[in-house]
Amino acid sequence: MSNPLSTDSDDDLGDLFQEPSRPPSPLPSFAYYTSKSGRNELKIRLVGSHPLWAHHLWNAARRFAQYLEDNPEFCRDRFVLELGAGGALPGLIAATLDARKVVLTDYPDPQLIRNIEINVENNIPYMTRDRVSVQGHIWGKPVDPLFESIRDSKPHEAGGGFDMIILSDLVFNHSQHDALLQTCSRALLSPSSNSDQTGSSKTPCLLVFFTHHRPHLVDEDMDFFKKAEQQGWKAEKVVEDRMEPMFPDDPGDEEVRATVHGWRLWRA
Low-confidence winner among 110-114, 170-174, 191-195 (lowest mean pLDDT): 191-195
Domain residue extents for the chain: 57-267
| pLDDT reported for residue 20 | 54
Q: Annotation-wise, does 199 bind a ligand?
A: no
Q: Annotation-wise, does 106 bind a ligand?
A: yes
| pLDDT reported for residue 48 | 75
**Fold observed for domain 57-267:** Rossmann fold (3.40.50)
Contacts of 147 (CB under 8 A, 6+ apart): 160, 161, 187
| pLDDT-derived band at 23, boundaries 50, 70, 90 | low
Q: Annotation-wise, does 175 bind a ligand?
A: no
259-267 and 79-83 strand pairing: unpaired
pLDDT tens across 175-217, in order?
999 999 999 999 999 886 445 555 566 899 999 999 999 999 9
Q: What is the 3-state secondary structure (H, E, C) of 89-138?
A: HHHHHHHHCCCCEEEEEECCCHHHHHHHHHHHHHHCCHHHHHHEEEEECC
Residue 65 confidence (pLDDT) above 90 = yes
| pLDDT reported for residue 75 | 97
Give 30's strand partners: 45
| pLDDT-derived band at 40, boundaries 50, 70, 90 | confident
What is the side-by-side order of every strand in the sheet holding 132-136? 132-136, 101-106, 79-83, 164-168, 205-211, 259-267, 233-242
Residue 22 confidence (pLDDT) above 90 = no
Q: Annotation-wise, does 60 bind a ligand?
A: no
Q: Annotation-wise, does 136 bind a ligand?
A: no
Q: What is the CA radius of gyration of the chain?
A: 22
